[in-house]
């Protein structure tokens, strides 16, 4: 690898295009960009997010790093197309929300896990999507979780850490299994609850008249129910076990609150609400201290 | 009543103090203020929110309007103290989150429902609380729900509508029962889910380490879990039946999603998520059109 790393970003949606823009600046990288939607890479080139358009994944010259910024369920197909490049890579990584499924897809296609492969997941997003929403500060002050495998080289982990840190992210590592549990709890379950609640209320009320009376709390609570249904369909199918585990714990805890309301057990309600408020206030402190550091 | 209505606001928290400030300006009202915390009314006077401090509720000259801006479970005690003023009132109202309980408290104390009494509930709030957070645009472009009783005079409903409209609110009327159902669905259940989820996650994780990895979706979703535990304890005890009804419908619907994940029924997941996204997008439109009108 020369001093100017060559990086191929596959998938120029919000995450891929923002990473391209940020890493091009921070690592002085030469960035090649591909997308299944053929009109997207020229837009990225025009916007100054990438240096070169890739038209055909099966005809790319050797690069140093490949980041697969595609839906989790598309990883297998991408790996099939770029397998000829893998022996020459320093790093192969991705940005998917479910790491177990990504690892399984790579293993299924290649029959082994290459030593350049280090799965990753930026805990960042925005309400807008697509290449035109790309911004080079999307990852600033956000976590980037790496899940190195037993096969991964130290060199791959180190380079990937440098690249994402350079984009402003706080890089942490954990196992694939822990990642999928943590995300099931902090992201996948809240999305499921928001989708479910909004659907219950919409069906409860003729002409959705009930939403007219909803206030700010409901607005904040339900915002994530506007997320992409296909992406979330994929996430729940691929992170099935970890989601079911935390969902069932939640259902059991919610059942205790239901019983407390039914039996007018004010002490239990107050205890749970107070404990939750304390935890939420702690979470607010974490967010505020992270923003101050930035 | 003279052209300059005299209004007594009992309880100078965020809602009461903001109403005092707004109505003093919009209706050219003379506003008297009382609070159980004796140091609060002088602050309100100093801030220009009220015209006169009331020290003792049992020693007030006749006014035209009384707004009880106190917790639902404190209404009975307030009504006992001001019952001598009720025959001379044009309007007696409140701002509580559970209308059935407020009506029951007034009935229990007085043995009847006075014709000046029109329960009310502004669908507004803010992250800050207390007299110092008062703002005269708190109700602007927000719903104010009135629940007139069979006993309520048209004059009381009309004057109350004028006062809240003058504060910028969009005034609507519905029955007490419908109000408590609507709020159970759009406010009380979301708060219960947020409290419950945050508590489940906090207990799931040693040292609450899991919150470090939570992103914006979780932040928005869980914000309402930072609400006052005592207030919410009161709400769930007093709006018990309506909350249990919608909670059980939600639990049943969530159970269907759990089964869909378990049985890898991607079609059901996509159908529910798509329907929920459509309803949430509709809700966003309502909010945006309301803000444009303002």
Q: Map residue B116 onto helix, strand or coil.
A: coil
Query: A174, A207, A237: which is the final residue of a domain?
Result: A174
Same-domain pairing of B122 and B195: no
Same-domain pairing of A168 and A199: no
CA B139 to chain centre: 11
- Domain region containing A194: 179-263
pLDDT higher than threshold 80 for residue B206: no
| All residues at 6 or more sequence positions from B216 whose CB lies less than 8 Å from its CB, including other chains | A125
Q: Which residues of A touch B121 (CB under 8 A)?
A: none
Task: Report the residue of B197, B209, B239, B265 to disrupt the A interface, i.e. the one with the largest count of A CBs within 10 Å.
Answer: B197
Specify whether the backbone of B70 is left (phi greater than 0), alpha (psi in -120 to 50) or beta.
beta
CA distances from A174 to A121, A145, A169, B61 (A): 11, 7, 16, 69
Same-domain pairing of B186 and B162: no
pLDDT one-digit tens code per residue, B35-83:
999 999 999 999 999 999 999 999 999 999 999 999 999 999 999 999 9
Query: What is the Cα–Cα distance from B215 to B210, expressed in whole angstroms?
Result: 11
**Out of A214, A273, A286, closest to residue B233 by CB:** A273
pLDDT one-digit tens code per residue, B169-199:
999 999 999 999 999 999 999 999 999 999 9
**Out of A142, A237, A282, closest to residue B211 by CB:** A282
Same-domain pairing of B79 and B196: no
Same-domain pairing of B153 and B247: no
The C-alpha of B139 sits at a distance from chain A's nearest C-alpha, in angstroms, of 11
* DSSP structure string for B150-195: TT--HHHHHHHHHHHHHTT-EEEE--HHHHHHHHIIIIIHHHHHHH
A–B: how many Cβ contacts below 8 A?
287
Same-domain pairing of A131 and A157: yes
Query: What is the Cα–Cα distance from B29 to B7, expressed in whole angstroms?
Result: 7
Whether A290 is in a domain gets the answer no
Same-domain pairing of A100 and A237: no
Cβ–Cβ below 8 Å for A216 and B125: yes
Same-domain pairing of B258 and B143: no
Cβ–Cβ below 8 Å for A276 and B123: no
| Residue among B212, B221, B200 at smallest CA distance from A283 | B212
Query: A128, A156, A174: which is the final residue of a domain?
Result: A174
Q: Are strands B120-122 and B143-146 parallel, antiparallel or unpaired?
A: antiparallel
Contact B95, B121 (CB under 8 A): yes
Task: Report the residue of B201, B247, B262, B275 to disrupt the A interface, i.e. the one with the largest count of A CBs within 10 Å.
Answer: B201
Q: How many domains does chain B have?
A: 2
Whether A277 is in a domain gets the answer no
Whether B71 is in a domain gets the answer yes
Q: Map residue A68 onto helix, strand or coil.
A: strand
- Closest chain A residue to B272, measured at CA: A199
pLDDT one-digit tens code per residue, B79-132:
999 999 999 999 999 999 999 999 999 999 999 999 999 999 999 877 778 999
Query: What is the Cα–Cα distance from B39 to A283, expressed in whole angstroms?
Result: 33
Whether B231 is in a domain gets the answer yes
pLDDT one-digit tens code per residue, A212-229:
888 777 888 888 898 889
Query: B119, B139, B174: which is the final residue of a domain?
Result: B174
Burial class (CB in 10 A: 0-12, 13-18, 19+), A124: buried
Same-domain pairing of B128 and B218: no
pLDDT higher than threshold 60 for residue B281: yes
Whether A194 is in a domain gets the answer yes
Whether B57 is in a domain gets the answer yes
Query: What is the Cα–Cα distance from B57 to B59, expressed in whole angstroms?
Result: 5
Whether B46 is in a domain gets the answer yes
What pLDDT tens digit does each residue of chain A (294 aa) get?
556 899 999 999 999 999 999 999 999 999 999 999 999 999 999 999 999 999 999 999 999 999 999 999 999 999 999 999 999 999 999 999 999 999 999 999 999 999 999 999 999 877 778 999 999 999 999 999 999 999 999 999 999 999 999 999 999 999 999 999 999 999 999 999 999 999 999 887 766 788 888 877 788 888 889 888 988 999 999 999 999 999 999 999 999 999 999 999 999 999 999 999 999 998 888 878 877 654
Supply the angle between the helices A240-262 and A266-293 in degrees, to the nearest 10: 140
Radius of gyration of chain B (CA): 21
- Look over chain A and give the mean of its residue pLDDT values, rounded to a whole number: 93
Whether B14 is in a domain gets the answer yes
Same-domain pairing of A140 and A75: yes
What ipTM does this complex have?
Answer: 0.90
**Out of B142, B258, B270, closest to residue A229 by CB:** B270
Same-domain pairing of A137 and A215: no
| CATH code for the domain in which residue B257 is found | 1.10.3660.10
Same-domain pairing of A170 and A192: no
């Amino acid at each position: 690898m020369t001093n100017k790393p060559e990086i191929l970003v596959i998938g120029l949606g919000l995450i891929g295009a923002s990473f391209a823009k940020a890493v091009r600046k921070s690592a002085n990288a030469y960035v090649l960009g591909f997308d299944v939607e053929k009109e997207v890479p020229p837009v990225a080139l025009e916007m100054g997010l990438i240096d070169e358009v890739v038209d055909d994944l099966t005809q790319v010259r050797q690069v140093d790093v490949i980041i697969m910024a595609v839906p989790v369920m598309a990883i297998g197909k991408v790996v099939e197309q770029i397998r000829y490049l893998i022996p020459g890579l320093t790093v192969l990584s991705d940005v998917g929300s479910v790491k177990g499924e990504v690892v399984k897809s790579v293993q299924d296609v290649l029959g082994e896990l290459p030593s350049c492969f280090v799965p990753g997941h930026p805990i960042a997003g925005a309400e807008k999507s697509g290449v035109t929403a790309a911004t080079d500060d999307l990852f600033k002050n956000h976590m980037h979780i790496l899940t190195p495998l037993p096969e991964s080289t130290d060199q791959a982990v180190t380079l990937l850490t440098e690249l994402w840190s350079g984009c402003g992210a706080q890089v942490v590592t954990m196992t694939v299994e822990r990642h999928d549990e943590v995300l099931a709890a902090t992201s996948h379950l809240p999305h499921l609850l928001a989708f479910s609640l909004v659907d219950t209320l919409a069906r409860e009320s003729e002409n959705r008249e009930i939403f007219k009376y909803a206030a700010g709390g409901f607005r904040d609570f339900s915002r994530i129910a506007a997320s992409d249904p296909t992406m979330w369909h994929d996430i729940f199918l691929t992170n099935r076990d970890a989601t079911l585990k935390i969902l069932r714990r939640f259902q059991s805890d919610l059942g205790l609150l239901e019983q407390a309301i039914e039996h007018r057990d004010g002490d239990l309600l107050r205890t749970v609400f107070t404990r939750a408020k304390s935890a939420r206030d702690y979470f607010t402190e974490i967010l505020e201290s992270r923003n101050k550091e930035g």
